[in-house]
Structure 1
Amino acid sequence: MELVMRSRLFAVLIGLGFIALDQWVKVQALLTLQSHSFRLGGNFAWLNIALSLNAGAFLSLGAGLAPGVKQLIFIVGVAAFVCWATWWALACWVSSPVKAAAVYFIALGGASNLIDRVFREGHVVDYLILNLGSVHTGVFNIADIAIMVGTGVLLLDELRRHRKA
């Protein structure tokens, strides 16, 4: 089993499965949430599920940029990063598995959101809002969760490394 987990082919297949799942959920959101929204949870913590087409990046940053600038940053720039990050993660899959998996999570989330931008008129399909009392997140999707998990793992790994030193 360990040999399978360390396999680059396994990583690629899991990655393609993740992107397929994320895209399927986004299609379901587009079909279902056009005129409906849902709330799951209690009085203090709940999750709103509502459609939002995000023309910007995290928290809609850059949504107001000129179209050419947005294409350069959000399509060309993200595509270059996703290609590099995927290459690096797969190249380091065996020698540095924690960092490689974290970078791969970031690349997969970026790749799935990039598919949205290319095929959905420059927008990313978002549909989740987490609420904890009076604190509300921006609207996000499963790909964004992968990006945040990968980023969190990189930060925790770096903190752990500095504590050892």
Structure 2
Amino acid sequence: MVSGILKAVSYSRDGEELCNAYFEEEDVFPEFLYLTGNRHYTYLLYVEKRAEVLWISIFLLEEMLSADAGLVSALLYYVSQRGLKNQLYLNCLNYQTVRERIAYWIMGVRKIEARQEQEVHMPLSQRIFANMLHVNRSSLNQELKQMERDGYFRLDKERLLHVEGERLKELL
């Protein structure tokens, strides 16, 4: 995906929307359909934020993967990284408070990205971030501001700066 945000959705028996995943800039989808041999989507795909998507023919993809072992390796690495991020969001749900979920998410992103820098990029939308953490947007916003006041980090639009990793670990 070149830009924007797509949301993969399925529905419960009662018609409740279940968000399966978000796809953001530089994400690849639905590679798992190719890798599993399934040719039918298991979800509906919605544009969450105006998106530009680069489509590639499955036949061209097969040809490229057959010809380039490095590309296969890169695809598997990408799939594993996305799996780790999905696991991170699921594990956030083990924490009760919004503050704990935020702290766990920050520490997890730093670990996945192998960064110990004091900067973390936030999801492209606070509403999407709130959905990922299964909290409401206003609670997330209030807690982010309170954590900033408490000195855990500094908010800067789509980034958290001066992240105090050791202090965040203490919350967990």
TM-score where L is the length of structure 1 = 0.29
Structure having the higher strand fraction is: 2
Structure 1 or 2: more helix by fraction: 1
Higher relative contact order (CA 8 A, sep 6+): 1
